[in-house]
Amino acid sequence: MQRNVGPEDRVVRIIVGLGLLALLYFVPMSQIAQILVGVAAAVLILTGLLARCLLYKLLDIDTSIQEQPYSTTDDRAFGD
């Protein structure tokens, strides 16, 4: 599977995943909630580190493609 998670998306996923791990450690919750939060944190951190997301693949989303800025000051097309 090709990379489909962009750099900004990766940073957000890793930060949210680490936040969920901190929440898991500091906030008392039921065992089921612990499992759900732990799985969500693991998925976010792994997809952030690997830059690949199965859900993005299924939905045909790719945030790794960056648009190239168009420069209006480029005068090569006019020829001298």
> How many whole angstroms from its chain centre is CA 22?
19
Closest by CA position to 49, among listed 5, 79, 80: 5
> How many whole angstroms from its chain centre is CA 45?
9
The per-residue pLDDT for 1 is 77
pLDDT per position as a tens digit, 4-36: 999 999 999 999 999 999 999 999 999 999 999
pLDDT per position as a tens digit, 46-80: 999 999 999 988 998 888 876 556 656 655 655 55
Report the predicted TM-score, pTM, of the whole model to 2 decimal places.
0.76
Domain locations in the chain as residue ranges: 7-63
Torsional sign, CA 53, 41, 12, 8: negative
